Chain A
Amino acid sequence: MTQSQNIHEETAVLSLRGVSKKIGGKTIVDQLSFDVREGEIVGLLGPNGAGKTTTIRMIAGLIQMTEGDVFVRGSSIRHEWKKAIRHIGAIIENPEFYPYMTGYDNLKQYQRMNEWISNERIDEVVRLVGLEQAMKKKVKAYSLGMRQRLGIAQALLHEPSVLILDEPTNGLDPAGIREMRDYLKTIAREEGISILVSSHLLLEMEQLCSRVVVIQDGKLVTVRAIGGASAAEEKSFVRVMFRVGRFDEAKQVLGSQEHAEILQVAEEQNELLVALRYKDIPETVTALGAAGVPIYQITELKQSLEDEFLKWTGGNRIA
């Protein structure tokens, strides 16, 4: 365990170490530590008011931290802000631009702030986010989706190592959310960049991230890999809903199965929710058939991140 942690530290692009923020005696972020590794897309997950935006503001040096430090490619944001911030591209809350200027003029503003950004680089990031057609339009005529893209172009302009996005899908319609997800993946691949993305949209995180950091009330709740080994392990057990006739017999048969557990019964709907091993499903169906139980429906209930999230954060569980 310690060995693997060491490996993580070596390849970490962004590390938070015991970061806290207190405002007026209230602890908004409490001893938060986690890493974002090379090329990784990490979700920062938490309900409203969990402290996601506050954490991101501290990472970017917009607000001072009360304790702890953030390291970006080994440079401390507190003590070597210039060196550290060079590797960060960020959108914090909504992407806000000068509305009376064109998209291009807005990007030129940021180009002038770092001398290594070439005009070709502007064209390149504009192409990457697909805004070629909108560059001559004033930003006040942009849709929210277009502003998000311009925000990402702004964040990529200086070739950072880590992209930090605070709820980038906030306010986007389902098609916009999907597009955003697709081009974030493209960007991560093409630019070889790490991404830290905050959200309370859990499904989003499942489809985008390889790891999620869950926080609540400013505290770290858990760090989970998604789609990795640990998830596969949990998947060997599945939750299956049986809708049957002859409810009582079905209950008896399922109850007597080895390695199966009835999680919930809904007698009015004739439904039974059972946790069992995936490979045992055919056997269970045969047993029900042998007992003369008619089966109308078998559905696997995916344990979504959403369910888990509520479990982790102590919300009401919907099973």
Chain B
Amino acid sequence: MLSFNRLVLNEWLKMSKKRSFFIPYAIIAVALVALSWAFKRWGGDMIGSASEFTAMMSSTSFFGQFTAMLAVIFTAGLVASEHSLGTIKFLMIRGQSRGKVLASKYAAALLFTLSLFVWLMAVGFASGAAFFGMEAGAGAWRDLWIAGGSSFVYSIVYVTLGFMMGVLTRSTGAAMGVGMAAVVFSSLTIPKSFYKYVLFPNADLSVYSHGGQPPIEGMTLPFSIAVLAVYMVLFLGASFVTFKKRDIA
């Protein structure tokens, strides 16, 4: 376990020592402060409190989707860049099994995504508190957790898809492109019955909150969770099987 934590630390340092590392955090902070200012100025009393503002910002229909994109962009290179830099050769001859190395990379991707959401919530709340005050209405906290939680799950699904693409294609560009395209496609729904087994309409679990209508007839929360679980297993299975067997050139 100690050695696994160290591998995750390695991966985290590889990400965080890049000069571009602060960019997603900066984008989130600037955008949230600007938006809370704009809502205060022109939004009338649309938003009443910090928690309301944060819930709205972190929902998939607002900033949650954008945060998912940031997460995909900044984790797409985790595997592919080792290939393109050529550092994979040193990484794979240090006595740590391939499965463990890949798992540490995936763990780092999850941690990074989590950190973006913690940051989104923290900045959203701070900025919201400054503009709208702390007073929270009934159910505001619950809304916040639903919005943030479903956006987080949504992001993890697409980060995992991008992660798999990075392993399969060894190309950062392909991983990023496919991951982002998937996020964009996610908001389109084809009203056909077969489409409910596709990943996209299931990724956003927040549609089921507040007694909302499912995107396609017959979909339920447990159904979507099951579909997501199957896709995640497939993505991770394909990644690990490929990575463990592959000849490293």
Chain A residues packing against B (C-beta within 8 Å): 57, 60-64, 82, 85-86, 88, 90, 92-94, 96-101, 105, 109-110, 112-115, 154, 158
Q: Is the CB of A97 within 8 A of B93?
A: no
Q: Please, what's the 1-or-0 string for B80-120, where 1 marks a CB less than 8 Å from any CB in chain A?
A: 00000111011011111100000000000000000000000
A285 to B87, CA, bound (A): 61
Task: Tell me the minimal C-beta distance from A18 to chain B in angstroms.
Answer: 19
Residues of A within 8 A of B85 (CB): 96-99
A164 to B245, CA, bound (A): 23
CA–CA, A101 to B11, complex, Å? 13
Q: Are A94 and B86 interface neighbours, CB within 8 A?
A: yes
Per-residue interface assignment for chain B, residues 44 to 69, with 1 indicating a CB less than 8 Å from any chain A CB and 0 otherwise: 00000000000000000000000000
Which chain B residues have a beta carbon within 8 Å of chain A's beta carbons? Answer: 2-3, 6-7, 9-10, 13-14, 17-19, 85-87, 89-90, 92-97, 245, 247-249
A114→B248 contact, CB < 8 A: no
* Bound Cα distance A96, B10 (Å): 16
Please tell me if the beta carbons of B247 and A63 are within 8 angstroms of each other in the complex: yes
| A175 smallest CB distance to B (angstroms) | 25
Kindly provide the distance from the CB of A158 to the nearest chain B CB, expressed in whole angstroms: 7
Counting from the closest, the 8 A-B pairs by CB-CB distance are A96-B86, A63-B247, A113-B94, A112-B6, A62-B248, A92-B89, A60-B93, A85-B95
Q: Contact at A100–B18, with CB atoms within 8 Å?
A: yes
Min CB gap A95→B, angstroms: 8
Residues of A with C-beta under 8 A to B17: 98, 100-101, 105
Given contacts A93-B86, A98-B85, A100-B17, contact A86 B95 (CB under 8 A): yes
Other-chain contact of A62, B6, B7, B89, B96 (Cβ < 8 Å)? B89
* Least CB separation from A117: chain B residue: B94
The distance from the CB of B5 to the nearest CB of chain A, in whole angstroms, is 9
Interface centre among A93, A96, A105, A158 (most CB of B within 10 A): A96
| From A86, A100, A158, residue with most partner B Cβ within 10 Å | A100
Shortest B249–chain A CB gap in Å is 7
CB distance B93 to A109 under 8 Å?
A: no
From the candidates B10, B18, B248, name the one contacting A112 in the complex (CB within 8 A): B10
Distance of A60 Cα from B7 Cα, bound (Å): 20
Q: Across the two chains, which residue of chain A brings its CB closest to B19?
A: A100
Among B2, B9, B247, residue most surrounded by chain A Cβ atoms (within 10 Å)? B247
15 contacts between A and B (CB under 8 A): A60-B92, A63-B247, A82-B97, A86-B95, A92-B89, A93-B86, A93-B89, A98-B85, A100-B19, A112-B6, A112-B7, A113-B3, A113-B94, A113-B96, A115-B3
How many angstroms from the CA of A110 to the CA of B245 in the assembled complex? Answer: 23
Closest B residue to A61 by beta carbon equals B93
Q: How far is the CB of A56 from chain B (nearest CB, A)?
A: 10
The residues of B that contact A112 with a CB separation of less than 8 Å are 6-7, 9-10
Query: Which residue on B lies nearest to A64, using beta carbons?
Result: B247
Q: Is B10 a contact of A113 with CB atoms below 8 Å?
A: yes
The answer to whether A62 touches B3 (Cβ under 8 A) is no
Could you say which of A88, A110, A112 has the most chain B C-beta atoms within 10 Å of its C-beta?
A112
